[in-house]
């Protein structure tokens, strides 16, 4: 998709918090002109389903009010079991023919009734020599999208674009660094409830997978083994803050939980390499709230034998300090990767 018109406000409704970003292009360079962060009560969102819409609406309204974000046109990200991403191969056809055929093609690959799904696609490669083309097929349950849209409208916002979290991170990464044509990289976004893996090969998404082991699982393990409240476990995970001394056993618990998640990521990477015929992944780039957990990055690097780095979606971008608390935003920047990617979307878009 190519964007035209003004940038939308990116709204990332995660399992533990809401992140909001507004970008503006000035003199061919993007600038962060507004941003906001609001924690959500536990169990507000479970596997991408909103269980407590009141808390989400209230947090959204507070962020937009407190951060003086006057633009109401937004892009929102979805994730979880209601979203399906498939890379498929279809016979060569024109754009008009594809538009007509896509419902039938989708039916072959999606395990739900096509009538309850919202379908979109992007042409990845045309291969005229073999009379085929590769598509990225994306489907999301309509009622899930409608739920998010209703919540945004209740918060006095106007949903314009719905995107998939894994691809928003890719868009932001591409905006800053471009995508390598000759090598394969893995983008891993470790949220509170879901870790989404997107392997980009030759400049296009080749494999995506959501892993239901993420930051919250580490906190839950600390909570269970140390017998402390969840908030306390979360504080321990983040280093205890200025007043807490973290018990010695917490380090072992974190290490073990990170190793478990690293094992799942390694299995996904191995599966991709085995099925794609590729020989290596050159780099793994981590974003999300748990990207700052050093034991996690170390465990992934050790298990997958791939170099790991933390993704800073704010690298090289100026911030309007009149309206944005720059220090706070940069401290959490890896957590804002999805919201940043969403805020690249525009109010007028055309298919590329």
DSSP notation for 160-218: EEEEEHHHHHHHHHHHHH---SSSEEEEEEE-SS-EEEEEEETTEEEEEEEES--HHHH
**pTM, 2 dp:** 0.93
Q: From CA 289, how far away is CA 293, in angstroms rounded?
A: 9
User: Which element (helix H / strand E) includes 306?
Assistant: none
Cα Rg, the chain, nearest whole Å? 20
How do the pLDDT tens digits run along the chain, 352 residues long?
445 578 999 999 999 999 999 999 877 889 999 999 999 998 898 877 899 999 999 999 999 999 999 999 999 999 888 889 999 999 999 999 999 999 999 999 998 899 999 999 999 889 999 999 999 999 999 999 999 999 999 999 999 999 999 999 999 999 999 999 999 999 999 999 999 999 999 999 999 999 988 999 999 999 999 999 988 998 888 887 666 788 889 999 999 999 999 999 999 999 999 999 898 999 999 999 999 999 999 999 999 999 999 999 999 999 999 999 999 999 999 999 999 999 999 877 654 4
Angle in degrees, 0-180, between the axes of helices 248-276 and 230-237, rounded to the nearest 10? 70
**Contacts (Cβ under 8 Å, ≥6 apart) of 115:** none
Q: How many residues does the chain have?
A: 352
- Scored b (16 or more CB within 10 A) or e, 46-60 reads eebebeebebbbebb
CATH code, domain carrying 200: 3.30.420.40
Tell me the residue range of the domain where 320 lies: 2-350
Q: How many domains does the chain have?
A: 1
């Amino acid at each position: 998709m190519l964007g035209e018109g003004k940038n939308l406000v990116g709204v990332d409704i995660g399992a533990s918090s809401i992140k909001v970003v507004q970008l503006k292009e000035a003199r061919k360079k993007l600038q962060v002109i507004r941003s906001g962060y609001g924690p959500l009560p536990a169990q507000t969102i479970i596997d991408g389903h909103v269980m407590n819409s009141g808390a989400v609406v209230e947090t959204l309204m507070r962020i937009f009010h407190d951060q003086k974000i006057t633009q109401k046109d937004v892009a929102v990200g979805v994730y979880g079991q209601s979203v399906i991403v498939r890379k498929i191969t279809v016979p060569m056809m024109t754009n008009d023919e594809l538009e007509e055929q896509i419902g039938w093609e989708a039916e072959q690959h999606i395990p739900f009734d096509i009538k309850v799904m919202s379908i979109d696609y992007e042409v990845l490669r045309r291969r005229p020599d073999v009379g085929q083309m590769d598509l990225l097929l994306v489907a999301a349950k309509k009622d899930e999208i409608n739920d998010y849209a209703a919540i945004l409208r209740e918060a006095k916002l106007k949903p314009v674009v719905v995107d998939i979290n894994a691809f928003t991170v890719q868009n932001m990464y591409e905006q800053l660094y471009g995508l390598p044509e000759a090598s394969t990289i893995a983008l891993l976004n470790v949220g509170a409830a879901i870790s989404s893996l997107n392997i980009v090969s030759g400049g296009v998404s080749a494999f995506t997978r959501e892993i239901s082991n993420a930051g919250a699982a580490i906190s839950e393990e600390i909570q269970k083994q140390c017998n402390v409240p969840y908030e306390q476990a979360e504080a321990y995970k983040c280093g205890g803050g200025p007043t807490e001394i973290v018990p010695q056993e917490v380090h072992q618990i974190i290490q073990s939980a990170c190793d478990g998640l690293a094992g799942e990521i390694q299995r996904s990477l191995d599966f991709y390499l085995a099925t794609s015929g590729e020989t290596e992944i050159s780099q793994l780039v981590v974003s999300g709230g748990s990207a700052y957990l050093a034991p996690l990055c170390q465990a992934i690097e050790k298990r997958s034998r791939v170099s790991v780095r933390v993704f800073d979606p704010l690298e090289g971008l100026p911030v309007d300090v009149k309206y944005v608390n720059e220090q706070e935003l940069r401290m959490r920047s890896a957590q804002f990767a999805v919201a940043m990617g969403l805020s690249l979307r525009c109010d007028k878009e055309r298919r590329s």
